[in-house]
Amino acid sequence: MEGWLHDVGGRAVVLSRAMTIRILLSLSLLALLAPGCGGASVDRESTFTGLRAAMTRELPPGDADTLEQHNQLVENARDGNVFDGLRRSEVQETLGRGQECGQRELCTRNGFRPDDWVYEIGQREGVPWGPTLIVGFDRQGIVDNVYTLTRR
């Protein structure tokens, strides 16, 4: 039998080339389809819950710990791809409607459209203060870009 020799648990096993190729293709497909592979997964629901709470949280002067938690929260949302595949209406349902980018320099400099949404995470004395999260949508209304500006 012509094939490849594999060491399986200290025993030599000969698999045909066709069987070896099938196994490798199956494993490759599994790796592509497996959720959460390629890094730490971020829980979408808890991230949105944290963002909603943080948007209205008052940041007392000198509270570096809470500010850092807010910075980490927006970075986790961006890096964890929690907005991937969401429509504008779904973002509004889960996070609320953001402020439109309009002509903000931060939006235009980073390639966002005037109708994309900006979220300020945290406030001080009722004024937005903390990291900024910008969510951009394509022409079909699906999230296609997320940008964060942290305050460190």
Mean pLDDT of the 1-23 span: 54
Mean pLDDT of the 18-29 span: 52
CA atoms of 141 and 81, how far apart (whole Å): 17
Report angle CA 37, 45, 113 to the nearest 5 degrees. 90
pTM to 2 decimals?
0.71
Residue that has been written with the tokens 């990291």 in this structure = 131
- pLDDT, position 6: 46
Predicted confidence band at 128 (pLDDT cuts at 50, 70, 90)? Answer: confident
- Under DSSP, the state recorded for 116 is S
CA atoms of 120 and 98, how far apart (whole Å): 9
CA atoms of 96 and 25, how far apart (whole Å): 43
User: In this predicted model, what pLDDT tens digit does every residue of 56-111 receive, in sequence order?
Assistant: 888 888 888 999 999 999 999 999 999 999 999 999 999 999 999 999 999 999 99
- pLDDT over 70, % of the chain: 73
- pLDDT, position 94: 93
Predicted confidence band at 132 (pLDDT cuts at 50, 70, 90)? Answer: very high
- Please, are residues 11 and 2 in contact by the beta-carbon 8 Å criterion? no
- pLDDT, position 33: 43
φ, ψ of residue 134 to 5 degrees: the values are: -120, 130
Q: Which of 105, 122, 106 is nearest to 66 (CA)?
A: 122
User: In this predicted model, what pLDDT tens digit does every residue of 46-56 receive, in sequence order?
Assistant: 999 999 999 98
